[in-house]
Amino acid sequence: MAKVLLVEARFYDHLNDMLLAGARAAVERAGHKHETLTVPGALEVPGAIALAAETGEYDAFVALGVVIRGETYHFEIVANESARGIMALTMDGIAIGNGILTTEDEAQAILRADPAQLDKGGGAAEAALAMLDLRRRFA
């Protein structure tokens, strides 16, 4: 049984509730344990995962959050840099599923976050578990 840390950037409560529901259900369906850690925003997710990974307490991580395009360049910075940070950690061998949504508007985010629709939170959890399986296979 693995222990999975769900790291959420809780900016949009109603959207994150859906992402978390999907991720929790996927981890539980696979027979694993999970905990949730909340950080201020998507840029803090990779740092929190890196700190938690150093403890050795967790086997896999799920990054969750929502970044909706606004009127400024900030969207690109947050979307790109959070993804870059997560990818860097993945390349270091940390099993992570990236469920940080980057959308044009709230309607797109709802479609993707809702477990009854595209369930990207659940998909991110499944990706983290798949990466954990690969890490164990090649260890």
Whether residue 74 lies in the annotated active site: yes
Residues 6+ apart with CB under 8 A from 2: 32, 33, 59, 60, 129, 132
Is 72 annotated as ligand-binding?
Answer: yes
Catalytic residue among 14, 32, 34, 74: 74
27 labelled as ligand-binding? no
Q: Is 45 marked within a binding site?
A: no
Q: What contacts 23, CB < 8 A, 6 or more positions away?
A: 6, 34, 62, 64, 99, 121, 122, 124, 125
Q: Is 71 annotated as a binding residue?
A: yes
Question: Is 80 assigned a ligand-binding role in the annotation?
Answer: no
Residues annotated as part of the active site = 74
Q: Which residues make up each annotated binding site for (2S)-2-hydroxy-3-oxobutyl phosphate?
A: 71-72, 112
Q: Which residues make up each annotated binding site for 5-amino-6-(D-ribitylamino)uracil?
A: 11, 42-44, 66-68, 98
